[in-house]
Homo-oligomer: A and B are copies of this chain.
Amino acid sequence: MYIPSFDDARVAHERIKPWIHRTPVLTSETLDRMSGARLLFKCENLQKAGAFKVRGATNAVFSLTDEEAARGVATHSSGNHALSLSRAAGCRGIPGTVIMPETASRAKMRAVEGYGGEIITCKPSLEARERTLNDLVERTGANFVHPYNDHRVIAGQATCSLELNEDAGPLDAVVAPIGGGGMISGTSLTLSSIAPDTRIYAAEPKNADDAYRSFKAGHIIEDDAPDTVADGLKVSLRDLSWHFVSSYVTDILLTTEEEIIDAMRLVWERMKIVIEPSSAVAVAAILKNPDVFRGQRVGVILTGGNVDMYKLPWLAK
């Protein structure tokens, strides 16, 4: 297991700069008032392809040699990593293939195709997914880019808090959602090097609390069929992300489904920006724990904004 260094993050930043947005840091008087803290929102919902995942995927794709790249890249994902890898492959002009369960939404598939990605569907099981991916890699020699348990991906995600730190100034704490742990790992990588006094909090849905339970137990516990509106956060930690979570995270804060949905609607209403439920988990965690953040300067990573406008969770309640 290669653990990426802060140098890797700096190299990644130079490498991906031409292909990504330097997203803005926004503030909100209303949310400051409600939280009692000074919140600095890093808006990865305004990122290319609508999510921070484009950072890691782009770093992986552009770190390949020409020879490797010619054989293409592949992944399994039905979410933002699928879009991001497709886009990154398109930017480099190489094939990008995504293994998706046949149950994935048409909208997600269209979005992947819109970025030029090729889709191979398989039965919605771990076993079918692995087999389909292995077949593809064997046949084409494509480079597998895991959604988060990949040092190139984590070095890419690490560029987000590099920008946040530069643009927002010194922070007492940073809060980001946690699923597989890619963003939290990148955040840990960067902040432990350049801002070691900044506390790192992960925010997780109570209904998918495997990272929380892992953190408390001291070893990885996988989730058993989690069910949360924050569908980007259903996956479990892996060895590389566990390294960062167990070494650098101050605490993991849990939120209910209702708190997530309320926080999502609040951000749409008051900040006038579209965030997906996974991003709202971080906002909900801050509003729920005023004592942890009161009077502090807190970075909040709004991880993405890809939402089906016909399926808004507060209208389904």
Contact = CB atoms under 8 A, between A and B. Distances in A.
Interface of A: 24, 26, 45-46, 50, 265, 268-269, 272-275, 305, 307, 309-310, 312, 314-315
Contacts of A275: 272
A272 B274 contact: yes
Contact of A305 (B46, B50, B272): B272
Nearest to A43: B272
Contacts of A268: 274, 309
A141 to B, nearest CB: 31
A45 B272 contact: yes
25 contacts: A24-B24, A26-B46, A45-B272, A46-B272, A50-B272, A265-B309, A268-B274, A268-B309, A269-B274, A269-B307, A269-B309, A272-B273, A272-B274, A272-B275, A272-B305, A273-B273, A273-B274, A274-B274, A309-B312, A309-B314, A310-B314, A310-B315, A312-B312, A312-B315, A315-B315
Contacts of A305: 272
Nearest to A114: B30
Nearest to A308: B269
Nearest to A44: B272
